[in-house]
Amino acid sequence: MAEVAKVGIYNVVTPIGLTQTAAAVALGTSETDLAVAVAEWQRRRDLIVEELRGEPLIPAAGGWSMLLDVGAMGFDSFTASDRLPERGKIAATPMRYWGDVNGDRFVRFVFSNESTTRLAG
């Protein structure tokens, strides 16, 4: 099952059709529209960073998601990702199969497609 999980990760994270289409649209977008999009994603990122201030968060330096070090809180990624929706209405991806050394100590929050209203605690 571990090998199947790895295949799943590499099939949805690598340059699949969805991301290729998004890249083509981005390349054809005006600098102004691109700046507006980047500013919005920055607002969303900053909101999560503020909401989780004091927690072992690894803020995104770019991109669309960030990691929380749940291992530092005494959890593995699957336990944490199961508890977060139950206790905080927060969805997070367990990172167990994203690296043999440290993957299971992290969960990932995706903020790129959520409004700041929904992201606010």
Whole domain around residue 16: which residue ranges? 2-119
Q: What is the pLDDT of residues 50-106, one digit of tens each?
A: 988 999 999 888 778 899 999 999 999 999 999 988 888 888 999 998 877 778 999
Q: Which residues pair with 106 in a beta bridge?
A: 69
CATH assignment at residue 84? 3.90.1150.10
> Model's pTM, two decimal places?
0.74
Number of domains composing the chain: 1
* Rounded distance between C-alpha atoms, residue 19 and residue 37, angstroms: 16
